[in-house]
Amino acid sequence: MEEQVATAFDNLKEKLFGWFNAIIENLPNLVLAILVFVIAFFVARYVSKWVEKLVGKRVEQKSISLVVSRIASVITVLVGLFLALGILNLSQALTSLLAGAGVIGLVIGLALQGTLSNTVSGIVLSFRNRIRIGNWVETNGFSGEVMDINLNTFILKEADNNIVVIPNKMILENPIKNFSLTTKMRVFLECGVGYESDLDKVQELTKKTIANTFDQVESPEDVEFYYTEFGGSSINYLCRFWIDAESMLEKLRAKTKAIIEIKKAYDKEGINIPFPIRTLQFDNNLNINAENIEDSFSNN
């Protein structure tokens, strides 16, 4: 029993001395590895601040710049860790660490597929110059002002002040119409006048009224006017003109103003804007009386 204890003690002592000798032999590498990792940690802080400022110049969303800077910081620390493990000749541990990180990343990616897709889409949208906060856009059946583009959602405020939250993935995968990219918008106005109206006069009066109402329309010749059809109760026309506007609200206000002024001009000139009516006409060829009804029944 005493011999076994002595043997075990000798083995332990030999193992400890082996570790001590290994530490002494690898002490320079250990110090260098720790130094590299500490330097990487401090460098990561400066990289994070630098990336945040750089991204902040391109992206208005604070959340996006913070996420990108944190990702850059984590990458810098990981690079320092891998260099430190390489200095310590722990290539096997480094390989195992990379394999484990790959497996964990795959599992997380599958579990958070939708969330990660929206996050990546949000970062891509944030770097697009043609989509900015404050723009008036139309996408996925909704139209409104862009209020925010965060890591998960695209937020719109419609004309009726309703807030619409759309996943970033849907914005990136579907067409988007940005009304704020140009400074002009075209107003379409459809109306009809009575069949008794002087069509030349209606055309001239409508174009003149639009030109006098909007400063952007320099002359009546800049207004497009086309008769489109003989309707059920009116002769219909289409009127088009350009205004300085960057949102649908401005376009709606301009259309409202045009309708009001055209109605005033038509009332002043006695031009009728008819509404659909149905006329029932009974001429004298149709005589309904008791005698005719009795004759009809007797013949049958």
User: In the prediction, which pLDDT does 69 show?
Assistant: 81
- pLDDT, average across residues 192-214: 93
Summarised one tens digit per residue, pLDDT across range 232-247 is 889 999 999 998 887 7
Above 70 in pLDDT, residue 23? no
Positions of E strands within the chain: 136-139, 142-149, 153-157, 163-167, 176-178, 184-193, 224-230, 235-244
Query: Does the pLDDT of residue 66 top 80, yes or no?
Result: no
* pLDDT recorded at residue 165: 92
pLDDT tens-digit readout, 254-289:
999 999 999 999 999 999 998 876 666 555 555 555
Higher pLDDT, 55 or 110: 55
* Stated pTM of the model: 0.50
Q: Specify the pLDDT at position 279.
A: 61
157/299 Cα distance (integer angstroms): 73
* pLDDT confidence of residue 298: 53
Q: If you average pLDDT over residues 128-151, what whole number do you get?
A: 83
Burial 8-20 (b: 16+ CB within 10 A, else e): eeeeeeeeeeeee
